[in-house]
Amino acid sequence: MDLSAQIPLLQEQSRQGHGLLRRSRTAIATADPVLLASWTLWFEGQGPLVAACTSEDDCLGNIQSHAATLLLCTDLLESGSGISLVRRALAVQPELKVLILLHRPIARTILNAIEAGCHGICAVQSAGTGAVAAALTAVDSDGQYLDPLISGVLHHSRLPSSGQSLPLQELTMREEDVLRGLCRGMSNEAIANDLVVSIETVKSHVSSLLRKLAAKDRTAAVVTAFREGLVQVPARPPRWT
Protein backbone atom coordinates (compact mmCIF):
# COMPACT_ATOMS: atom_id res chain seq x y z
CA MET A 1 0.00 0.00 0.00
CA ASP A 2 1.47 3.35 -1.06
CA LEU A 3 0.42 6.13 1.34
CA SER A 4 2.93 8.70 0.07
CA ALA A 5 0.21 11.04 -1.15
CA GLN A 6 -1.37 11.00 2.32
CA ILE A 7 1.79 12.02 4.23
CA PRO A 8 0.66 15.66 4.83
CA LEU A 9 -2.75 14.47 6.08
CA LEU A 10 -1.21 11.86 8.39
CA GLN A 11 1.25 14.40 9.78
CA GLU A 12 -1.56 16.88 10.42
CA GLN A 13 -3.63 14.22 12.19
CA SER A 14 -0.65 13.42 14.40
CA ARG A 15 -0.20 17.10 15.31
CA GLN A 16 -3.88 17.65 16.05
CA GLY A 17 -4.20 14.84 18.57
CA HIS A 18 -7.61 13.95 19.91
CA GLY A 19 -9.98 15.25 22.55
CA LEU A 20 -10.45 11.83 24.15
CA LEU A 21 -6.67 11.51 24.62
CA ARG A 22 -6.46 14.94 26.22
CA ARG A 23 -9.23 14.07 28.69
CA SER A 24 -7.99 10.57 29.54
CA ARG A 25 -5.35 8.89 31.64
CA THR A 26 -4.09 6.42 29.07
CA ALA A 27 -2.27 3.10 29.29
CA ILE A 28 -0.78 1.47 26.20
CA ALA A 29 0.33 -2.14 25.78
CA THR A 30 1.86 -3.87 22.76
CA ALA A 31 4.67 -6.24 21.86
CA ASP A 32 5.43 -4.12 18.77
CA PRO A 33 8.33 -1.74 19.64
CA VAL A 34 7.65 0.50 16.63
CA LEU A 35 3.99 0.89 17.56
CA LEU A 36 4.91 1.45 21.22
CA ALA A 37 7.36 4.21 20.26
CA SER A 38 4.95 5.90 17.85
CA TRP A 39 2.09 5.86 20.37
CA THR A 40 4.38 7.26 23.06
CA LEU A 41 5.45 10.13 20.79
CA TRP A 42 1.81 10.73 19.84
CA PHE A 43 1.06 11.62 23.47
CA GLU A 44 3.34 14.65 23.54
CA GLY A 45 1.00 17.52 24.40
CA GLN A 46 -1.92 15.16 25.04
CA GLY A 47 -3.37 13.93 28.32
CA PRO A 48 -1.22 11.95 30.75
CA LEU A 49 0.25 8.68 29.48
CA VAL A 50 0.35 6.63 32.68
CA ALA A 51 1.72 3.34 31.32
CA ALA A 52 3.64 1.98 28.33
CA CYS A 53 4.01 -1.78 28.71
CA THR A 54 4.73 -4.92 26.73
CA SER A 55 3.17 -7.45 29.12
CA GLU A 56 -0.33 -8.11 30.40
CA ASP A 57 0.48 -8.15 34.12
CA ASP A 58 2.60 -4.99 34.03
CA CYS A 59 -0.09 -3.05 32.18
CA LEU A 60 -2.86 -4.28 34.48
CA GLY A 61 -0.87 -3.20 37.53
CA ASN A 62 -0.39 0.28 36.08
CA ILE A 63 -4.05 0.59 35.11
CA GLN A 64 -5.00 -0.10 38.72
CA SER A 65 -2.32 2.00 40.42
CA HIS A 66 -2.71 5.02 38.10
CA ALA A 67 -6.51 4.83 37.66
CA ALA A 68 -6.26 4.74 33.86
CA THR A 69 -9.42 5.67 31.96
CA LEU A 70 -8.34 4.64 28.43
CA LEU A 71 -6.48 1.54 27.25
CA LEU A 72 -4.84 1.27 23.82
CA CYS A 73 -3.45 -2.20 23.19
CA THR A 74 -2.77 -4.88 20.62
CA ASP A 75 -3.76 -8.52 20.81
CA LEU A 76 -0.10 -9.61 20.81
CA LEU A 77 1.94 -8.88 23.94
CA GLU A 78 5.36 -10.17 24.99
CA SER A 79 3.71 -11.87 27.97
CA GLY A 80 0.00 -12.64 28.20
CA SER A 81 -2.46 -11.37 25.61
CA GLY A 82 -4.25 -8.14 24.84
CA ILE A 83 -7.71 -9.72 24.96
CA SER A 84 -7.02 -11.26 28.37
CA LEU A 85 -5.74 -7.87 29.53
CA VAL A 86 -9.00 -6.24 28.42
CA ARG A 87 -11.10 -8.77 30.35
CA ARG A 88 -9.07 -8.35 33.53
CA ALA A 89 -8.83 -4.56 33.24
CA LEU A 90 -12.58 -4.10 32.78
CA ALA A 91 -13.22 -6.39 35.75
CA VAL A 92 -11.34 -3.99 38.04
CA GLN A 93 -12.03 -0.75 36.11
CA PRO A 94 -15.53 -1.06 34.55
CA GLU A 95 -15.55 2.52 33.24
CA LEU A 96 -12.32 2.00 31.26
CA LYS A 97 -12.56 2.71 27.52
CA VAL A 98 -10.68 0.17 25.39
CA LEU A 99 -9.36 0.30 21.83
CA ILE A 100 -7.59 -2.83 20.58
CA LEU A 101 -5.61 -3.35 17.36
CA LEU A 102 -5.51 -6.90 16.01
CA HIS A 103 -2.41 -8.19 14.20
CA ARG A 104 -4.29 -11.05 12.54
CA PRO A 105 -7.96 -10.12 12.51
CA ILE A 106 -9.66 -13.48 12.01
CA ALA A 107 -13.27 -14.02 13.06
CA ARG A 108 -12.45 -15.97 16.23
CA THR A 109 -10.13 -13.23 17.52
CA ILE A 110 -12.62 -10.49 16.64
CA LEU A 111 -15.47 -12.25 18.45
CA ASN A 112 -13.21 -12.81 21.47
CA ALA A 113 -12.38 -9.09 21.51
CA ILE A 114 -16.07 -8.19 21.33
CA GLU A 115 -16.91 -10.65 24.12
CA ALA A 116 -14.09 -9.22 26.25
CA GLY A 117 -15.76 -5.81 26.09
CA CYS A 118 -13.55 -3.82 23.68
CA HIS A 119 -15.20 -0.55 22.67
CA GLY A 120 -13.15 -0.14 19.49
CA ILE A 121 -11.54 -2.81 17.30
CA CYS A 122 -9.13 -2.05 14.45
CA ALA A 123 -6.73 -4.04 12.30
CA VAL A 124 -3.05 -3.21 12.81
CA GLN A 125 -2.88 -2.90 9.02
CA SER A 126 -5.08 0.20 9.34
CA ALA A 127 -2.99 1.92 12.02
CA GLY A 128 -1.20 4.27 9.62
CA THR A 129 -4.28 5.35 7.69
CA GLY A 130 -6.04 7.41 10.35
CA ALA A 131 -8.11 4.46 11.61
CA VAL A 132 -7.00 4.92 15.24
CA ALA A 133 -8.09 8.57 15.23
CA ALA A 134 -11.40 7.56 13.62
CA ALA A 135 -11.88 4.85 16.23
CA LEU A 136 -11.19 7.27 19.09
CA THR A 137 -13.73 9.71 17.65
CA ALA A 138 -16.39 7.01 17.35
CA VAL A 139 -15.69 5.55 20.80
CA ASP A 140 -15.83 9.04 22.28
CA SER A 141 -19.20 9.88 20.69
CA ASP A 142 -20.94 6.56 20.04
CA GLY A 143 -19.50 4.07 22.46
CA GLN A 144 -18.29 1.40 19.98
CA TYR A 145 -16.33 1.21 16.73
CA LEU A 146 -15.44 -1.52 14.25
CA ASP A 147 -12.79 -0.79 11.65
CA PRO A 148 -14.23 -1.38 8.13
CA LEU A 149 -11.56 -4.06 7.65
CA ILE A 150 -12.78 -5.81 10.80
CA SER A 151 -16.35 -5.57 9.53
CA GLY A 152 -15.20 -7.06 6.23
CA VAL A 153 -13.79 -10.11 8.01
CA LEU A 154 -17.08 -10.67 9.82
CA HIS A 155 -18.93 -10.27 6.52
CA HIS A 156 -17.08 -13.23 5.06
CA SER A 157 -16.90 -15.46 8.11
CA ARG A 158 -19.23 -18.35 8.83
CA LEU A 159 -20.48 -17.22 12.21
CA PRO A 160 -22.45 -19.79 14.21
CA SER A 161 -26.18 -19.18 13.97
CA SER A 162 -27.98 -18.09 17.11
CA GLY A 163 -30.89 -20.36 16.19
CA GLN A 164 -33.29 -17.42 16.40
CA SER A 165 -35.58 -16.35 13.59
CA LEU A 166 -35.32 -12.56 13.50
CA PRO A 167 -38.40 -10.58 12.44
CA LEU A 168 -36.82 -8.94 9.39
CA GLN A 169 -40.13 -7.38 8.42
CA GLU A 170 -40.04 -5.25 11.56
CA LEU A 171 -36.97 -3.33 10.38
CA THR A 172 -37.90 -0.18 8.51
CA MET A 173 -36.03 0.77 5.34
CA ARG A 174 -34.23 3.55 7.20
CA GLU A 175 -33.25 1.18 10.00
CA GLU A 176 -31.80 -1.16 7.38
CA ASP A 177 -29.82 1.77 5.95
CA VAL A 178 -28.43 2.58 9.39
CA LEU A 179 -27.64 -1.10 10.05
CA ARG A 180 -25.64 -1.26 6.81
CA GLY A 181 -23.71 1.79 7.98
CA LEU A 182 -22.91 0.14 11.30
CA CYS A 183 -21.73 -2.97 9.47
CA ARG A 184 -19.40 -0.82 7.36
CA GLY A 185 -17.77 0.52 10.53
CA MET A 186 -19.27 4.00 10.18
CA SER A 187 -19.80 6.37 13.10
CA ASN A 188 -23.17 7.99 13.80
CA GLU A 189 -21.89 11.21 12.25
CA ALA A 190 -20.74 9.45 9.07
CA ILE A 191 -24.07 7.63 8.75
CA ALA A 192 -25.95 10.90 9.27
CA ASN A 193 -23.92 12.59 6.53
CA ASP A 194 -24.42 9.64 4.18
CA LEU A 195 -28.19 9.53 4.71
CA VAL A 196 -28.57 13.33 4.98
CA VAL A 197 -30.29 13.17 8.37
CA SER A 198 -29.41 14.48 11.81
CA ILE A 199 -27.15 12.61 14.23
CA GLU A 200 -30.06 12.47 16.68
CA THR A 201 -32.14 10.69 14.04
CA VAL A 202 -29.37 8.13 13.55
CA LYS A 203 -29.11 7.61 17.31
CA SER A 204 -32.85 7.00 17.44
CA HIS A 205 -32.61 4.39 14.68
CA VAL A 206 -29.65 2.72 16.42
CA SER A 207 -31.64 2.47 19.66
CA SER A 208 -34.53 0.91 17.74
CA LEU A 209 -32.17 -1.56 16.04
CA LEU A 210 -30.67 -2.63 19.35
CA ARG A 211 -34.14 -3.33 20.70
CA LYS A 212 -35.34 -5.23 17.63
CA LEU A 213 -32.15 -7.28 17.31
CA ALA A 214 -31.96 -7.93 21.07
CA ALA A 215 -28.41 -6.55 20.99
CA LYS A 216 -26.76 -4.98 24.03
CA ASP A 217 -24.78 -2.49 21.91
CA ARG A 218 -23.99 -1.54 18.30
CA THR A 219 -21.12 -4.05 18.07
CA ALA A 220 -23.45 -6.88 19.07
CA ALA A 221 -25.94 -5.60 16.48
CA VAL A 222 -23.27 -5.88 13.77
CA VAL A 223 -22.44 -9.46 14.78
CA THR A 224 -26.14 -10.35 14.75
CA ALA A 225 -26.58 -8.74 11.32
CA PHE A 226 -23.73 -10.79 9.85
CA ARG A 227 -24.76 -13.99 11.64
CA GLU A 228 -28.37 -13.77 10.47
CA GLY A 229 -27.60 -12.55 6.95
CA LEU A 230 -29.24 -9.15 7.32
CA VAL A 231 -26.61 -7.40 5.19
CA GLN A 232 -25.19 -8.10 1.75
CA VAL A 233 -21.71 -9.59 1.54
CA PRO A 234 -19.05 -7.68 -0.46
CA ALA A 235 -17.73 -9.38 -3.58
CA ARG A 236 -14.20 -10.07 -2.27
CA PRO A 237 -13.13 -11.09 1.24
CA PRO A 238 -10.12 -9.53 3.01
CA ARG A 239 -6.95 -11.47 2.23
CA TRP A 240 -6.36 -12.75 5.78
CA THR A 241 -9.67 -14.65 6.12
- Residues with Cβ within 8 Å of 135's Cβ and at least 6 positions away in sequence, in order, are 99, 120, 121, 122, 145, 147
Does position 216 have pLDDT exceeding 60, yes or no?
yes
Q: Tell me, what's the pLDDT at 62?
A: 95
- What mean pLDDT, rounded, does the chain reach? 82
Residue 31 and residue 66: Cα distance in Å, rounded? 21
Using CA atoms, how far residue 60 sits from 64, 92, 124, in Å, is 6, 9, 22
Measuring CA to CA, which residue among 116, 180, 120, 114 is closest to residue 146?
Answer: 120
Q: What share of the chain in percent tops pLDDT 90?
A: 37
Q: pLDDT tens for residues 80-113?
A: 999 999 999 999 999 999 999 999 888 889 989 9
pLDDT for residue 229: 77
Question: Is residue 92 packed enough to be buried (19+ CB in 10 Å), middle (13-18) or exposed (0-12)?
Answer: exposed
Q: Where do the structural domains in the chain lie, given as residue ranges?
A: 4-141, 168-227
Sequence-ordered strand ranges (E) for 79-156: 97-102, 120-123, 145-146
pLDDT at 238: 44
What is the per-residue pLDDT for 9?
56
Fold of 4-141: Rossmann fold (3.40.50)
The string of pLDDT tens digits covering residues 154-211 is: 877 766 555 555 445 478 889 989 998 888 878 888 899 999 999 999 999 999 999 9
Task: Judge whether residue 3 has pLDDT over 70.
Answer: no
Closest by Cα among 115, 119, 100, 87 to 29: 100
pLDDT higher than 50, residue 67: yes
Share of the chain above pLDDT 70, in %: 82
Pick the CATH number of 168-227 from 1.20.58.100, 1.10.10.10, 3.40.640.10, 3.30.70.100: 1.10.10.10
Between 13-27, 35-49, 69-83, 181-195, the lowest mean confidence (pLDDT) is in: 13-27
Provide the pLDDT for residue 236. 44
